[in-house]
Amino acid sequence: MNSNQLPTNEYSPFSATYIKAIGNVDLFEELEISLHDFIKFVQNIPMDKFDYRYAEGKWTIKDIIQHIIDAERVFAYRAMRISRNDQTPLPGFEENDYVVNTDANGRSIQGLLTEFSAVRHSNLLMFKSFSSDQLTSIGMASSHPVSVRALGFLIIGHQKHHQKVFEERYL
């Protein structure tokens, strides 16, 4: 399953930025590759940068890593529900409330990366378990139609978006 095979009616206009930014990749391969790329990238960030905020009220790198973990859990939960033919519309989530209610800055980078790795490995196994029909199943999330496979690509694109933000604003 490649991202260039994903019709635009399987995700919201807001998600298009994340999905189109990943280029033409295989879902399962890129879920794994992007995990290792991200861990390596974060491990090369200077230690004094993890608590840095580039402006008042902005998130730290630790906050963003926790946000990536939280968002991936939300996207994966949506994928699981939709894959099981649960037609209940799924609400959005307020990312700023999530960040305020974590203790990311009190955690170690190793702890955050270990959690990220565990979440990604679990989700990789889940996405690999989906049948072709399940991957193309469509449900409603955040008031927009979304397919299970689009949620997988969204996990990748969201992570890559924030990695680019690290490079542009934090390093």
Spell out the domains of the chain, with CATH numbers in brackets.
Answer: 3-170 (1.20.120.450)
pLDDT value at residue 2: 87
pLDDT band at 4 (very low <50, low <70, confident <90, very high): confident
pLDDT of 140-166, one tens digit each? Answer: 999 999 999 999 999 999 999 999 999
Q: Quick one: three-class SS letters along 10-75?
A: HCCHHHHHHHHHCCCCEHHHHHHHHHHHHHHHHHCCCHHHCCCCCCCCCCCHHHHHHHHHHHHHHH
pLDDT of 11-70, one tens digit each? Answer: 999 999 999 889 999 999 999 999 999 999 999 999 999 999 999 999 999 999 999 999
Say how far apart CA 145 and CA 21 lie, in whole Å: 20
Cβ atoms of 5 and 13 closer than 8 Å: no
Say how far apart CA 86 and CA 137 lie, in whole Å: 10
Q: What is the DSSP letter of 91?
A: P
Say how far apart CA 47 and CA 84 lie, in whole Å: 42
Burial of 27 from C-beta contacts in 10 A (0-12 / 13-18 / 19+): buried
Stated pTM of the model: 0.96
Q: Which amino acid is at 115?
A: E
Say how far apart CA 113 and CA 109 lie, in whole Å: 6
